[in-house]
Amino acid sequence: MKVTLTVWRQAGPAAQGRFETYELDEVSEDMSFLELFDVLNERLIAKGEEPVAFDHDCREGICGSCSMMIDGRPHGPELGTATCQLHMRKFADGAKITVEPWRAGAFPLVRDLVVDRSAFDRIVESGGYITAPTGSAPDGNLILIPKAVADSAMDAAACIGCGACVAACPNSAANLFTAAKVMHLNLLPQGQPERWERVTNMVDTMEQFFGSCTNHGECEAACPKEISIDFIALMNRDYIKAQFKQRRLASQRG
Ligand code: FES
């Protein structure tokens, strides 16, 4: 098949960006979208031109690094699919495809399609972990967890931190990402000792970098792991409860 790619090129954060158009023929419909970029880059290198910079690591939908806006949609046209798992057969022969980096103030552009998503790391650093010494892995049957709770925690833990939720949101809010990272711990018994501190710190850190959620729901539609916005409601409930709990704890401390 043949495709025409229009790709955002920008040599660095301060450089002037522009769209460049590339015609590619003999594209296999079994190629992934990243393999299409591999082919493009081989051709650019052979011509002595700069290859297109893009992030990738696992190419299995696990690491969340293959972040691209494809025809105005994070990760492209297929629902529940990361860019690395999107195949060219999803596009028509002769398709004209526009590819851009994530556009969000909290994700400054590094080069071409690569953005700096370290604002996500700041959120996780502020509470996305358990500090209690847990020893070696216990027998799975020693801590009984209702199946519905375990399933829900696993659904939240599916977040790969790609940033599609932020890129899709008109407010550049990171509530879906933060909710997933808070709730996969707050739902489980192991997450209870730091539950209120965790949600307070992670939401407060999120608000330093990202916009506010106004319930558009674009994040859920764009998420390659189809994480539900119900987790945002659960996080908000925990955040509000935490404010009362913190006040009570503070008054008890005198
Ligand atoms: S390269 Fe890892 S999720 Fe796509």
Q: Are 224 and 58 in contact (CB under 8 A)?
A: no
pLDDT the model gives residue 33:
97
Show the tokens assigned to 60.
């299995």
Token code pair at residue 195: 């539950």
Q: Cα(53) to centroid of ligand 1, in Å?
A: 15
Determine the distance separating the centroid of ligand 1 and the alpha carbon of 81, expressed in angstroms: 10
Q: How far is the CA of 162 from the centre of ligand 1 (A)?
A: 8
pLDDT 10s per residue in the chain (254 long)? 999 999 999 999 999 999 999 999 999 999 999 999 999 999 999 999 999 999 999 999 999 999 999 999 999 999 999 999 999 999 999 999 999 999 999 999 999 999 999 999 999 999 999 987 767 877 777 888 999 999 999 999 999 999 999 999 999 999 999 999 999 999 999 899 999 999 999 999 999 999 999 999 999 999 999 999 999 999 999 999 999 877 767 776 65
Domains, the chain, with CATH or none: 3-110 (3.10.20.30), 118-253 (1.10.1060.10)
Residue nearest to atom 1 of ligand 1 (CA): 59
Atom 3 of ligand 1: nearest residue by CA position? 61
CA of 56 to the centre of ligand 1 (A): 6
Residue from 32, 55, 57, 70 whose mutation best tests the ligand 1 pocket (most atoms within 8 A of CB): 57
Spatial CB neighbours of 80, under 8 Å, sequence gap ≥ 6: 223, 224, 225, 226
